[in-house]
Amino acid sequence: MSASGPGQFGQFAGQAVDEATQTAWKHAAAEAAVREVSDGAIVGLGTGSTAEGMLHALAARVSQGLRMRGVATSERTQTLAQSLGIPMAALDEVDHLDLSFDGADEVILPTLDLLKGRGGALLREKLVAASSRYRIILVDATKITRTLGVGAAIPVEVETFGWRHTAARLAAPGCHITRRAQLAHPGDPADAPFLSDGGHYILDLLFDQPPDIPAVAARIKAITGVVEHGLFLGMTERVYIGGPDGVRYADRGR
């Protein structure tokens, strides 16, 4: 495995890679990353399909004798991790986490600034990342981009009370805001809103032009009614990238 440079994966950004290939790349990144877990570690466990691959790889190590405890970033992850036999703790039962693993929707090299939250778990993901000493992101090569918030929406978790007013405060020229709908479940009304594990709505903000990301992050965070947003800036130490040439990693640079 080798370190990667910013230009190596850009050719896959926004490209349609078939699902089986993308899944294989995600799993390869997850398999490589879990080798970083040392005996006795307390590990943050992310949410999403890549994180699920990581849980299976970690469970295999636990079954071979690795001692560790996991802290889940969602109810979904908690349930799967327990079913796989991974010992778990709640965030408030530990003082800190030694490292954490999670997926991402878009990643910029070499800063490792990234966008998360398509799975709707961004608040707990950010809380776990903020308490982790070393943060590792696992992606396939299609997630490496040059800009955030144009190819994928920036998710903003908001209080349900008065959410239309919060959405109005978030409005900006060239920014399209949609309240996220529930994933299709039989019997759901077509427009049932998605609810996060914390019982909040998610507003997805898609920009026509690449926005000034630090400015947008600061502006969103300051708005009354906003709980958290999916921009993770300066919150990642290493990213593992699965792609056509195997798995590479990149450490945060400037």
Of the candidate spans 31-39, 85-93, 114-122, 185-193, the one that interacts with ligand 5RP by CB under 6 A turns out to be 114-122
- Which of 30, 43, 86, 117 binds ligand 5RP (CB under 6 A)? It is 117
CB atoms within 10 A of CB 162: 13
- Which of 102, 106, 113, 204 binds ligand 5RP (CB under 6 A)? It is 102
Quote the CA–CA distance of 2 and 84 in Å, as a whole number. 30
Should residue 125 be labelled a site residue for ligand 5RP when binding is judged by CB under 6 A? Answer: yes
Select 65 or 199, whichever has its Cβ closest to ligand 5RP.
199
Select 40 or 198, whichever has its Cβ closest to ligand 5RP.
198
Contact between 200 and 192 under an 8 Å Cβ cutoff? The reply is: no
Q: Give the shortest CB-224-to-ligand 5RP separation in angstroms.
A: 24
Per-residue tokens: 45: 């466990």
Which residue has tokens 């408030």?
92
Which positions are annotated as active-site residues?
A: 125
Amino acid identity at 213: I
Cβ neighbors of 219 (< 8 A, separation 6 or more) are: none
Contact between 131 and 95 under an 8 Å Cβ cutoff? The reply is: no
Q: Give the shortest CB-58-to-ligand 5RP separation in angstroms.
A: 15
Of the candidate spans 3-11, 55-63, 103-111, 199-207, the one that interacts with ligand 5RP by CB under 6 A turns out to be 103-111
DSSP count for the chain of H helices, then E strands? 6, 15
Binding site for ligand 5RP (CB under 6 A): 46-51, 102-105, 116-122, 125
